[in-house]
């Protein structure tokens, strides 16, 4: 599970809890900026495992983390997904652990965007989303709701239940 720097990252905690409750193993990979919103220790406690976020951390033994994680994955869920990670993936930019992991996987990638409505409607962001959809990436569309800035609009992370249901669907 990839977690990026959206205020909706707190909902990723509940997604991890729900997946584990349903006996779905979860490894958490955070963007570096996400670690400024929620400590990796929170996800480590929830997932009962190591949290990955630093591309140049001390690797365990000889393993190259993004390749090792890619080989272990049955599915990659990015929730919340910012415009930044969507843009990186759409343009082949692999400059952090999460983007290099996604570049290396051969499994379905589910992306659950969360951002301000104006950002979501931005022409470049829309083109990036459409490009990724055309390449086979799957999206869990954001909902209308209260956004971090206080506005109400589309860009609110999809409901946790919807995200968990989609993960289960793709794992079958």
Instruction: Tell me if residue 60 is catalytic.
Output: no
**What is the DSSP code string of 36-48?**
GTS-HHHHHHHHT
Choose the catalytic residue: 13, 48, 60, 149.
149
Neighbour-count burial for 56-92, b at 16+ CB within 10 Å, e otherwise: eeeeeeeeebbebbbeebebbbbbbbbbbbbbbbbee
> Helix (H, G, I), strand (E, B), or coil: what is residue 154?
strand
Question: Sign of dihedral through CA atoms 162, 158, 11, 79?
Answer: positive
Kindly calculate the radius of gyration of the chain based on its CA atoms and give it in whole angstroms. Answer: 15
Give me the active site residues, please.
Answer: 149
């Amino acid at each position: 599970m990839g977690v990026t720097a959206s205020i909706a990252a707190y909902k990723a905690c509940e997604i991890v809890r729900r997946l584990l409750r349903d006996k779905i193993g979860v490894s958490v990979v955070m963007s570096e900026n996400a670690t400024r919103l929620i400590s990796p220790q929170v996800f480590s406690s929830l997932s009962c495992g190591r949290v990955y976020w630093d591309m140049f951390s001390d690797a365990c033994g000889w393993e190259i983390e993004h390749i090792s994680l890619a080989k272990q994955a049955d599915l990659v869920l990015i929730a919340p997904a910012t415009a930044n990670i969507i843009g990186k993936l759409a343009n082949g930019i692999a400059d952090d652990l999460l983007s290099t992991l996604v570049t290396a996987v051969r499994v379905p990638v589910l992306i659950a965007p969360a951002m301000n409505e104006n950002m979501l409607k931005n022409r470049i962001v829309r083109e990036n989303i459409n490009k990724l959809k055309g390449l086979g990436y799957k999206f869990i569309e954001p909902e209308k709701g209260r956004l971090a800035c206080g506005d109400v609009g589309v860009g609110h992370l999809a409901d946790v239940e919807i995200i968990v249901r989609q993960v289960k669907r793709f794992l079958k």
